[in-house]
Amino acid sequence: MLDILFFIVIGALLGIVVGFIPGFSSNNLSMLVITYGLISSDYHLAVTAVAIEISSSFFEFLSPMIFGIGNDATALAADVAYSGITEESFKRSVSIVISGGLIGILVAMPLIFFAEKVYPTVYSSLKPLVAWILSFLCVYMAWIERTWKKKFFATTVFILSGMMGLLIKNSGLISSNYLLLPVFIGLYGFSSILSKRHGKEELIQDITFVEKARSTAIAFIASMFASLIPGMKRGQASAVALQIGGAIKREEVLFILPLVSLAFATLSIFILGSTGRVRSSLTYDIQEVVGNPYFSQTVLFAGSVAITACISSVILIFVAKPIGKLLSKINERYLKIFGFLIAATLVINFTGFYGALVAFTATCIGLLSSRFGIRSVHLMGVLLLPSIISSVIL
Amino acid sequence: MVGINLDRSKQLTLLILLLAIVGLAAITFAVQNIKPIEMEIGAIEEPMEGKLVKISGSIENIRKSKSGNLYWLVGDGNNITVPLLDGKFKKLTAKRGDTVDIIGLVSIYNGEMEIMPKEIAIR
């Protein structure tokens, strides 16, 4: 038991580093650990992979909140939190992220007992409806923009970003490991840095119990939905949650994103255990080292998720104060320039000229959404339009 | 001649829209003109996932899944699976032993390397 705890702590600490470095995914590190046989026991390896994934899922929200650089699951946090950083506002953002993540794990946990029975039935009934459900959500999201002009702009931005998604998906232009890096750095990172969506006066506020309850229900439904459907990942799950949510406060967005991310990670383990289906990079790693886990092993992984979440939350609370204090002292303009330089370096280093081209186009589309004054969730067309078309074809 | 008067902010928005369209056009051009890397099957490794490659080899085996999808095992000394999931390949009439040139994306499924074909030529 102590050995398991030891590897959970190791994984949690590694996850902090992975989560904080923009562009580095937990899967990259887990694959390094697996490939080079750094941990000899299969179970220790799997537990470490779980801890890396869960811990990095918490800490990867720091990068968009500080530098404005996020990935498919966190980019929208850059949009809502990366502006007018004060110590208090930053601490509040972090505490919303922590509560979202912990609730995500909590609501997903009971599914461990029902996954085997529920998933095959729900999967077969949902599969033919996926394209319709996603299309409906996209139309609904454009529809709730207030004026006809904005409805038109929202549709335009959705189509432009969707076209970009369709063009680059399976194109061979950029390695699939880094495919979404220039896309999300452009759509949400660069565009947030270059435009200012929110002023200093719009600081992050607390969210009420009712808002939390509503957001939890929305995010859980979206995570369940996405975890069932092939090709849907946590990025799509976040987009679906925000579309179901409609016109929600940005604090709720900040609550929903980690909730979806952590619930999706937890549910993907249960799906692997109950159906043998690989639904995330984490479950791919688990299957690589231990095969399809038995129920007792799934329980062990669920326990690892819970313990890692607690460790990560405590560390995140602990570091939020000094980081917030530091950020409030740094000139926002310098922070933006620094964020821009990091993001540009990442894009050019990992994806080369074509990545830079994609990032440039994505930045223009991201800027359009800001200039049109519409919700940035329409930019998620980059993931949703290809998903809709794949669902129709399959 | 009728002129359109736009204020500075709208001009900038229009410029960004044009740049986005030009960017999409440039990506389309790049995608259509990307050249595959010609290589031997044995040289295909995990870090190449998502890259466009061209391989040549003979069909060692043809397998049909329960859902009706065809899978070729193509070899040139080393073997790799080529799933024919795209409808456009369903009319291909290749048999075991035929030599094929395949352009496709390197992918990994359940830990196994695969080529997701975009173009197939039977010699």
Residue A358 touches partner B, C-beta closer than 8 Å: yes
Q: Which residue has the higher pLDDT, A85 or B47?
A: B47
Query: Is there a contact between A167 and A386 (Cβ–Cβ < 8 Å)?
Result: no
Binning pLDDT at 50, 70 and 90, where does residue A27 land? low
Binning pLDDT at 50, 70 and 90, where does residue A156 land? very high
CA of residue A26 relative to chain centroid, distance: 12
Which range among A107-121, A143-157, A335-349, A360-374 shows the weakest confidence by mean pLDDT? A107-121
pTM: 0.79
For tokens 């200039």, name the residue.
Answer: A371
pLDDT value for A280? 78
Q: What is the pLDDT of residues B52-100, one digit of tens each?
A: 899 999 999 998 876 677 889 999 888 999 988 777 787 788 888 899 9
Chain A residues in contact with B24 by the CB 8 A cut-off are: 160, 163-164, 167, 361
How many residues are listed for chain B in this entry? 123
Judged against a pLDDT cut of 70, whether residue A297 lies above it is answered with yes
Q: What is the pLDDT of residues A41-53, one digit of tens each?
A: 778 888 888 999 8
Interface A–B counts its CB contacts (< 8 A) at 78
Chain B closest-CA separation from residue A367 CA (Å): 7
Segment of A89-93, A189-193, B9-13, B17-21 carrying the highest mean pLDDT: B17-21
pLDDT value for A33? 64
Residues with Cβ within 8 Å of A61's Cβ and at least 6 positions away in sequence, in order, are: A19, A74, A77, A94, A97, A257, A258
pLDDT value for A167? 93
Average pLDDT score over residue span A208-222 = 89
> A172, B49: Cβ pair inside 8 Å?
no
Judged against a pLDDT cut of 80, whether residue A145 lies above it is answered with yes
Query: Is there a contact between A299 and A293 (Cβ–Cβ < 8 Å)?
Result: no
* β-strand pairing of B70-75 with B99-109: unpaired
Judged against a pLDDT cut of 80, whether residue B2 lies above it is answered with no
> B107, A361: Cβ pair inside 8 Å?
no
Residue B24 touches partner A, C-beta closer than 8 Å: yes
pLDDT value for A291? 80
Judged against a pLDDT cut of 50, whether residue A386 lies above it is answered with yes
pLDDT value for A198? 47
Average pLDDT score over residue span A113-126 = 77
pLDDT value for B48? 80
Chain A residues in contact with B28 by the CB 8 A cut-off are: 167
Q: What is the pLDDT of residues B29-65, one digit of tens each?
A: 999 888 888 889 988 887 787 888 999 999 999 988 7
Average pLDDT score over residue span A35-61 = 81
Chain A residues in contact with B16 by the CB 8 A cut-off are: 364, 367-368, 371
Q: What is the pLDDT of residues A240-293, one digit of tens each?
A: 888 777 767 778 888 999 999 999 999 989 888 887 777 777 887 788 778 888
pLDDT value for A384? 86
Query: Is there a contact between A48 and A10 (Cβ–Cβ < 8 Å)?
Result: yes
> A175, B16: Cβ pair inside 8 Å?
no
Binning pLDDT at 50, 70 and 90, where does residue A32 land? low
Average pLDDT score over residue span B1-29 = 86
Judged against a pLDDT cut of 50, whether residue A143 lies above it is answered with yes
* β-strand pairing of B70-75 with B112-122: unpaired
For residue B90, the surrounding DSSP H or E stretch is none
As a three-state string, the secondary structure of chain A is CHHHHHHHHHHHHHHHHHHHCCCCCHHHHHHHHHHCCCCCCHHHHHHHHHHHHHHHHHHCCHHHHHCCCCCCCCHHHHHHHCCCCCHHHHHHHHHHHHHHHHHHHHHHHHHHHCHHHHHHHHHHHHHHHHHHHHHHHHHHHHHCCCCHHHHHHHHHHHHHHHHHHHHHCCCCCCCHHHCHHHHHHHHHHHHHHHCCCCCCCCCCCCCCHHHHHHHHHHHHHHHHHHHHCCCCCHHHHHHHHHHHHCCCCHHHHHHHHHHHHHHHHHHHHHHHHHHCCCCCHHHHHHHHHHCCCCHHHHHHHHHHHHHHHHHHHHHHHHHHHHHHHHHHHCCHHHHHHHHHHHHHHHHHHHHHHHHHHHHHHHHHHHHHHHHHCCCHHHHHHHHHHHHHHHHHHC
Q: Which residue of A has its CA nearest to B86?
A: A393
Residue A187 touches partner B, C-beta closer than 8 Å: no
Residue B121 touches partner A, C-beta closer than 8 Å: no
Rounded to the nearest integer, the mean pLDDT of chain A is 83
User: Chain A neighbours among B 45-74 (CB < 8 Å)?
Assistant: 46-52
pLDDT value for A393? 67
Segment of A135-139, A168-172, B28-32 carrying the highest mean pLDDT: B28-32
> A364, B23: Cβ pair inside 8 Å?
yes
Q: Which residue has the higher pLDDT, A256 or A146?
A: A256
pLDDT value for B95? 86
Q: Which two tokens stand for residue A355?
A: 């990545």
Query: Is there a contact between A284 and A269 (Cβ–Cβ < 8 Å)?
Result: no
Chosen from A31, A150, A156, A175 to mutate, greatest number of chain B CBs within 10 A? A175
Taking alpha carbons only, the member of A272, A299, A312, A288 closest to residue A46 is: A288
B74/A89 Cα distance (integer angstroms): 58
Judged against a pLDDT cut of 50, whether residue B1 lies above it is answered with no
Binning pLDDT at 50, 70 and 90, where does residue A159 land? very high
